[in-house]
Amino acid sequence: MTGIGEAVRAYLPGLALLAGGAVAATLVADAVPGLQPLVVAVGIGVGLGNTVGIPEIAEPGVSADKLFLETGIVLLGAAVAVEEFLAAGPTVLGLVVAVVAGGLLFAEVVARGLFRIGSPTSSLLAAGASICGVSAVVAIGRVLDARGTAITFAAATILLFDAATLVAFPLAGEWLGLTGRQFGVWAGVSMFSTGPVAAAGFAYSPEAGQWATVTKLARNSLLGGVAVAYSLAYAARSAADPGVRRLWAEFPKFLLGFLAVAAVANSGLLSPAALASIGRVSDALFALAFVGLGLSIRVDDMRAVGAAPVGAVLVHLLAVSAVALAAVRWLL
Amino acid sequence: MASNRDDGIASDGPATGAGLVDRWTALDRGWQALALGLGIVAAHLVGQAL
CA neighbours within 13 Å on the CB side: how many for A5?
Answer: 6
- The whole-number pLDDT of residue A220 equals 82
Better-scored residue on pLDDT, A273 or A217: A273
Residue numbers of the domain that contains A252: 4-331
Assess whether pLDDT exceeds 90 at residue A206: no
Would you call B27 helix, strand, or coil by DSSP? coil
Asked if pLDDT for residue B2 goes beyond 80, the answer is: no
Q: Over 70: is that where the pLDDT of A84 sits?
A: no
B5 — pLDDT class (breaks 50, 70, 90): very low
With both helix axes pointing from N to C terminus, report the angle between A82-109 and A180-190 in degrees, rounded to the nearest 10: 40
Give the percent of chain A with pLDDT over 90.
36
Of the two residues A88 and A243, the one the predictor is more confident about is: A88
**The predicted structure's pLDDT at residue A2:** 56
Window from A91-100, A180-189, A204-213, B15-24 with minimum mean pLDDT: B15-24
pLDDT value at position A155? 82
What residues of B are in contact with residue A75 (Cβ under 8 Å)? Answer: 37, 40-41
Average predicted confidence (pLDDT) for chain A = 85
The pLDDT value given to residue A170: 93
Res B3: pLDDT = 40
The answer to whether residue A217 scores a pLDDT higher than 80 is yes
The C-alpha atoms of residue A53 and residue A38 are separated, in whole angstroms, by: 20
- The whole-angstrom separation of Cα A210 and Cα A84 is 12
Ramachandran sector of residue A80 (left: φ over 0; alpha: ψ -120 to 50; beta: rest) = beta
pLDDT of residue A128: 86
pLDDT band at A71 (very low <50, low <70, confident <90, very high): very high
| Mean pLDDT calculated for residue range A256-280 | 90
- The shortest CB-CB distance from A3 to any of B20, B34, B35 is to B20
CA-to-CA distance for A115 and A105, rounded, in angstroms?
15
CB-based contact, B50 to chain A, within 8 Å: no
pLDDT at A236 over 70: no
If you average pLDDT over residues A262-291, what whole number do you get? 90
Give pLDDT tens digits for A138-194: 778 877 777 777 777 788 888 888 888 988 999 999 999 999 999 999 999 999 888
A46-55, A61-70, A111-120, A303-312: least confidently modelled range? A303-312
Indicate if the pLDDT at residue B7 is higher than 70: no
Q: What is d(CA A286, CA A258) in angstroms, rounded to the nearest whole number?
A: 15
Choose from B3, B25, B29, B48 for mutation: most chain A CBs within 10 A.
B29
Neighbour-count burial for A258-292, b at 16+ CB within 10 Å, e otherwise: bebbbebbbeeebeeebeebbbebbbbbbbbbbbb
Mean pLDDT score, A4-24: 92
The domain tally of chain A equals: 1
Cβ atoms of A13 and A55 within 8 Å: the answer is yes
pLDDT above 80 (res A319): yes
* Nearest CB to A3 within list B18, B29, B31: B18
Whether residue B6 has pLDDT greater than 60 = no
Burial class of residue A227 in the structure, from the number of CB atoms within 10 Å of its CB (0-12 exposed, 13-18 middle, 19+ buried): buried
pLDDT at B15: 59
Region A232-259: mean pLDDT is 70
Residues of B in contact with A74 (CB under 8 A): 33-34, 36-38
* pLDDT score for B22: 84
